[in-house]
């Protein structure tokens, strides 16, 4: 299905990173769509209970305003480490990261507190996006994505999109243990609170894992989805809610 001309103005973030000219990316905000509360208004997810017609219209508005070369390849996400390649015909798939080397294929993940991580090859030969909630991050979704890109890590640049910030992301000891069992230094991304639990810094954990891989050109991580109700959905804040999209593609 083609995107067609824009019919409404939607709100998006454009990553501020030194990506090659062939790389295009965007992160949708929650305004400018047609979904009714509690999914108001630019919800992109079909699995949250929103009306299917509203999601279809929202996706079409995104496609049109961003002038996408094709409809994005929407995946079913399960907080795992599977990485999908967009190459030939892509059926519906379950994965938490997606990459492509082909111009005109649009990679996308859906988030509402989890951390979206965009990747681009410095020469513009490949792009990827990963859905990195704490489970996927601890299990190695970033490592799996970099491995599938099969490029030298120093040749990659990454952008960390909006996610729940450490001031609002309270977790139990099992979450901290999942990271420190792999890397004792990950303890620095957790601060104890008065309730005997931990405030978790997802972006710091992602930066640490990327640095270990050798990906040192990392940008973004300036927004908290929980703190900004106007711009972002937050599952931790609201419970049932919509999802935002992190998209990346190579110009055809």
pLDDT of residue 224: 98
Beta bridge partners of 163: 224
CB 30 within 8 A of CB 40: yes
CB 140 within 8 A of CB 114: no
Q: Tell me: pLDDT of 1 over 60.
A: no
pLDDT tens track for 217-247: 999 999 999 999 999 999 999 999 999 999 9
pLDDT of residue 202: 98
Percent of the chain with pLDDT over 90: 94
pLDDT of residue 135: 98
pLDDT of residue 90: 64
Q: Tell me: pLDDT of 8 over 70.
A: no
* Torsion sign, CA atoms 239, 80, 165, 117: negative
Query: Can you tell me the mean pLDDT for 127-148?
Result: 98
pLDDT of residue 16: 96
Q: 12-250: what fold?
A: 3.60.140
Q: Tell me: pLDDT of 199 over 60.
A: yes
Distance in angstroms (rounded) separating the CA atoms of residues 226 and 164 = 5
Distance in angstroms (rounded) separating the CA atoms of residues 75 and 109 = 7
Give start and end residues of each alpha helix (H) in 120-196.
Answer: 134-139, 141-149, 173-180
Is the full-model pTM beyond 0.85?
yes
pLDDT tens track for 82-131: 999 998 766 678 999 999 999 999 999 999 999 999 999 999 999 999 99
More confident residue, 153 or 8: 153
Buried b (16+ CB within 10 A) or exposed e, 18-56: ebeebbbbbbbbbebbbbeeebbbbbbbbebebeeebbe
């Amino acid at each position: 299905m083609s995107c067609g001309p824009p019919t409404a103005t939607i709100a998006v973030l454009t990553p501020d990173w030194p990506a090659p000219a062939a790389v295009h990316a965007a992160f949708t905000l929650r305004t400018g769509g047609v979904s009714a509360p509690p999914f108001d208004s630019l919800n992109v997810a079909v699995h949250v209970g929103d009306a299917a017609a509203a999601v279809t219209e929202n996706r079409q508005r995104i496609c049109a305003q961003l002038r996408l070369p094709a409809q994005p390849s929407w995946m079913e996400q399960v907080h795992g480490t599977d990485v999908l390649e967009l190459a030939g015909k892509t059926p519906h798939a379950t994965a938490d990261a997606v990459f492509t080397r082909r111009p005109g294929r649009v990679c996308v993940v859906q988030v509402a507190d989890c951390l979206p991580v965009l990747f681009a090859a410095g020469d513009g030969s490949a792009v990827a996006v990963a859905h990195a909630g704490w489970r996927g991050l601890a299990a190695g979704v970033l490592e799996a994505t970099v491995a599938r890109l099969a490029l030298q890590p120093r040749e990659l640049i990454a952008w960390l999109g909006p996610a729940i910030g450490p001031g609002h992301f309270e977790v139990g000891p099992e979450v901290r243990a999942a990271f420190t069992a792999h890397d004792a230094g990950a303890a620095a991304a957790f601060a104890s609170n008065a309730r005997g639990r931990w405030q978790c810094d997802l972006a710091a954990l992602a930066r640490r894992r990327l640095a270990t891989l050798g990906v040192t050109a990392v940008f973004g991580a300036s927004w908290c989805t929980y703190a900004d109700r106007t711009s972002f959905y937050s599952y931790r804040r609201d419970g049932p809610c919509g999802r935002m999209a992190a998209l990346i593609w190579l110009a055809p």
